[in-house]
Amino acid sequence: MSHTITVLPGDGIGPEVMAEALKVLEASSEKFHFDIEHTTHLVGGAALDATGNKTPLPPETIAASEKADAILFGSVGGPKWENLPPEIQPERGALLPLRKHFGLFANLRPGSCHPSLTHASPVKNELIPNGFDVLCVRELTGGIYFGEPKGREERAGEPVAFDTMVYKKSEIEKILHVAFTAARGRDKRVTSVDTANVLATSVLWRETAIEVATQYPDVALDHLYVDNAAMQLVKRPDSFDVLVTENLFGDILSDEMAMISGSLGMLPSASLGNIQDNGLYFGMYEPSGGSAPDIAGQGIANPIAQILSVSMMLRYSLGESEAADAIDSAVQQAIDSGLRTGDLFTGAEGETRVNTAEMGQAILTNL
């Protein structure tokens, strides 16, 4: 098999962690006998610098991505570009248009905490003796962020602002299929999160979830109201397998999940478009965190989120699940052997502090 990907390292720690991720990708292509062709392009602040602040998303970057099976993204943004007009700021001018251009409607964010890293989680350790592993599937292109009408006007002498939450049944079905399919490769449990006691969109959401579930008799479905889901995530995160929810709720819950996981440096994410005839998705894969300007340039960032983004890409876009499994266990082994970048290091017995390149090399060796 031969695969083509576009690599967009971006800003801050992006290029540093991307370098390690590409080494792991190349090693996995050798080990599992597939060809990988990748070209690197500009995005974010790096693109603004190169284009004299014209755009954080040059047309060549989009054109190259259109020809690829997937995009491997680093992170964008930083203080240098914060005062530019909002529409060309790195995140708003690059990330959102990329999602829109490629119709990336499903955001997958694993929130996991390895049993040996529970000390890094703010959840009381006695509540998560074995860590946890949740996958949050968030609808990314509908709901209140995009619904019309939205605006602001004067009513009876005072300013009034309004947003509209709209969901079509077909949009809900699409995201639920992603969640059920993902659950089939995990513990086969889906929790659908809504506010069906208050919102009309949630009533449609719940009805649709029940309907779609009939096509997945091997996967168990339950429902939680979003306020309860937020509470249960900090009380018993180990009870969840796949959480699926609409855009706004998912925005908040996936960040809560990232927080309880302990370090952003460990968490990958995927934004997926429509499923293709070959059963795979076009997708963009990136760490859940940002460009971490506070540690950029020091070679100390944790490369694991970027490396696990490679593993998600192999699984969902390239159909190389054996290679993905091997990368996941190589990462696990590195953690089990006590290696810790600064974000995870506590000084406890058995821990060895390593930098970005040393962590990358250890994972490569395990692979």
Nearest to 115 by CA among 132, 131, 134, 133: 131
Phi, psi of 218 (to 5 degrees): -85, -5
To ligand NAD, the closest distance from the beta carbon of 104 in angstroms equals 13
Site for ligand NAD in 316-345 (CB under 6 A): 343
DSSP string, 176-239: HHHHHHHHHTTTSEEEEEE-TTT-HHHHHHHHHHHHHHTT-TTSEEEEEEHHHHHHHHHH-GGG
Select from 78, 131, 237, 273 the one that contacts ligand NAD (CB under 6 A): 78
Of 118-126, 151-159, 168-176, 297-305, which segment contacts ligand NAD by CB under 6 A?
297-305
Q: State which residue, 57 or 224, has the beta carbon closest to ligand NAD.
A: 57
Report the distance separating Cα 193 and Cα 202, nearest Å.
9
Q: Tell me which of 183, 224, 305, 307 binds ligand NAD, using CB under 6 A.
A: 305
Q: Which of 6, 75, 195, 208 binds ligand NAD (CB under 6 A)?
A: 75
Nearer to ligand NAD, 76 or 176 (CB): 76
Pick from 221, 286, 327, 361 the residue near ligand NAD by CB under 6 A. 286
In the bound state with ligand NAD, the residue whose beta carbon lies nearer, of 78 and 93, is: 78
Q: Which of 84, 213, 248, 264 touches ligand NAD by CB under 6 A?
A: 264
Q: Which of residues 79-118 bind ligand NAD (CB under 6 A)?
A: 91, 95
In angstroms, rounded to a whole number, what is the distance separating the alpha carbons of residues 89 and 78?
A: 9
Q: How near is the Cβ of 180 to ligand NAD at its closest, in Å? A: 27
Residue 360 makes contact with ligand NAD by CB under 6 A: no
Q: Six-digit token pair at 86?
A: 């909002």
Cis check: omega of the bond before 129, within 30 degrees of 0: no
HSE-CB at 173 with a 13 A cutoff on CA atoms is 7
* Site for ligand NAD contains 57 (CB under 6 A): no
Should residue 16 be labelled a site residue for ligand NAD when binding is judged by CB under 6 A?
no
Greatest Cα pair distance, the chain, in angstroms, is 69
Asked if residues 289 and 267 have their Cβ atoms less than 8 Å apart, the reply is yes
76 lines the binding site for ligand NAD (CB under 6 A) = yes
Q: Does 290 bind ligand NAD (CB under 6 A)?
A: yes
DSSP 301: S
Asked whether position 295 contacts ligand NAD by CB under 6 A, the answer is yes
- Preceding peptide of 110 cis, ω within 30°: no
Indicate whether 256 belongs to the interface with ligand NAD (CB under 6 A). no
Q: Which of 136, 243, 270, 292 binds ligand NAD (CB under 6 A)?
A: 292
Per DSSP bridges, beta strands 2-10 and 35-40 are parallel
- CA 46 from chain centre, in angstroms, equals 22
- The residues that bridge with 275 in the sheet, in sequence order, are 281
Contacting positions for ligand NAD (CB under 6 A): 13, 17, 75-78, 91, 95, 264-265, 286-287, 289-295, 301-302, 305, 343
